[in-house]
Structure 1
Amino acid sequence: MSKITDRFTHFSQEPLYNTKAVVQRTGVAADTLRAWERRYGVPFPERTEGRQRAYSDRDIAIIDWLRQQTESGLTISQAVALLQTDSVIEQPTYDLAPLAELSNDCVQALLSFDVLKAEDILNKAFSVYPVETVCIEVIERVMVAIGDGWHAGKISISQEHAATAFMSLKLSNLIHQARTRSNRGVIVVATVPGEQHELGVMMVALFLMRRGWRVVYLGSNLPAAELLHTVQRLSPKLVALSATTKDNYSQAVQLLQELHKMPKPPIIGYGGAALSGTTQQTVLPGIFLGYNADQACDKIEELLA
């Protein structure tokens, strides 16, 4: 490849996997992989002494990304051009609305329980914009609007639950696609006990995976004892916790203190609306990671540099 986007530079280039393993991990057929290699030079696996293809983690990440782009509406030639230049050479055949308009359209689709339309809106956005941009500028905006509507009594519990379930599944699928072997180190990501809101912390886990970290995502409302046991077992470089609702503030404080008291404590980071005030940041053990997932990942990489 003549050029490659920075998003893949953290992945190992060591050739570890045969074609069968790559097919199992990416879902891309062996014939398709060979066709991409022959026509576009992507991927470009090394060869063993027996002339068998040997793929690296970086190859697998690129293949996964290409598959995602084609599933979202790009042709393979468009996806390869985007990969090699890091800019859109040829837009898809549809005209894409501004992100704010996409967010509004997605809100209306979800309030109408039209998940197919919401899926189509997100897929088109993902085909043009980076995953991180769509998560922050579309998914986050959508959920804030729906949350505000629910608090104002304009949106039913069923509508809010359906929208949350849809976005949670979407992020779960993205996390699954982003998983790969990594030598950068382990980061544990979770909410504090009692916290049910996990979309923001799911984005943190996703973004870190896309930056090449091995992320152990423990989800929402994990008992403190379980999280502490996992941290003791894995010895992660950093633990990132989130608390959104004020009702969970005391639980968050207690957990942060217990992590800090461990014999060999990891770096402790936290975020979420319940922990983002200036007062909290001065008294809580650990480091405030920022106000959104992108800021959190930048801060984490700064701490681990």
Structure 2
Amino acid sequence: MYDYARHLAMEFLKGDHFTSWSLIQQQIDDGMSSYFIFDYVLRDAMFYIGHMWENNEIGVADEHLATSICDYVLTRYSFDRHPLTNREKRAMFFCVEGEEHYLGAKMASSLFQEAGWDVKYLGPNLPLEYAIFNAKKWRPDVIGLSITLPLHLPKLKDYVYSLEHLPHRPKVIVGSRLIEKYDFTPFISNQTVLAKEVTDIEPFIEQYLMKVIE
């Protein structure tokens, strides 16, 4: 793990907004990309906190505090990005029903927004019927789903099938740290994009940016 991430994790657990942001600002000043900051700083910091929780080194309240500080840092970081002005493409992100771990979906939405997409982030725990309603109404080109717990895998199949078969045929991206441990084949189609980390969506976004430049 990147040592910087452990340092940041400790500041999250202290509830220190100021120092947490200053650590991220240092990464920005050092020229680190959004992909690096999201995957190897913010994500790894939260993974470390999760490891501490699993080993009873911290409690649930500590984990919630750390999540709130990470959310603050991510929101501030995204606000400071200067996206392209082109808004021809739309993307919608959320977590499947019952899924409360939302930071990955929020990071993905931030990256698409930074690349110039018109983005709607619908947050955690979104039932399928509401996802379908919003997708039909807004017609996003891309729909990103986040899932982190194995117990939610069975419902993923209905989400992917229902969303990929909407009349406007959006591209579905499934983001999950479970990809390296579980076979997702029964729950997705051969059209679904899998992303174990936010860096995995970089080629997808870069392809879009090349089309905009052309």
Deviations 1:240-284 (A, max 9, x none): 111111122122222112213333321222121345556213651
- Secondary structure in 2 matching 1:254: helix
Aligned partners of 1:233 and 1:254: how far apart in 2? 19
Structure 1 residues 111 and 247: alpha-carbon distance in aligned structure 2, compared to 1, 3 A threshold: same
Q: CA deviation at 1:175?
A: 3.0
- Secondary structure in 2 matching 1:241: strand
Structure 1 residues 212 and 264: alpha-carbon distance in aligned structure 2, compared to 1, 3 A threshold: closer
% identical aligned pairs: 20
Contiguous gaps of at least 5 residues in structure 1:
1-98
Question: Is the 8 Å Cα contact of residues 192 and 241 (structure 1) preserved in structure 2?
Answer: yes
Look up the match of 1:289: 194
Look up the match of 2:146: 242
Deviations 1:174-206 (A, max 9, x none): 333447543331111111111111111111111
The yes-or-no answer on 1:103 pairing with 2:8 is no
Question: Is the 8 Å Cα contact of residues 244 and 275 (structure 1) preserved in structure 2?
Answer: no
Alignment map for 1:267-278 (pairs within 5 Å): 267-274=171-178, 277=181
Structure 1 residues 251 and 157: alpha-carbon distance in aligned structure 2, compared to 1, 3 A threshold: same
Within the candidate set 104, 115, 136, 2:39 is matched to: 136
Normalising by structure 1, report the TM-score.
0.61
The yes-or-no answer on 1:256 pairing with 2:175 is no
Aligned partners of 1:296 and 1:282: how far apart in 2? 22
Question: Is the 8 Å Cα contact of residues 9 and 45 (structure 2) preserved in structure 1?
Answer: yes
Bigger radius of gyration? 1
Aligned length: 207
Question: Is the 8 Å Cα contact of residues 12 and 70 (structure 2) preserved in structure 1?
Answer: no
Opposite residue 141 of structure 2, the aligned amino acid is K
Within the candidate set 33, 50, 54, 1:151 is matched to: 54
Aligned partners of 2:127 and 2:3: how far apart in 1? 39
Q: Which moved more, 1:200-209 or 1:167-176?
A: 167-176
Question: Is the 8 Å Cα contact of residues 125 and 134 (structure 1) preserved in structure 2?
Answer: yes
Q: Which moved more, 1:284-293 or 1:198-207?
A: 284-293
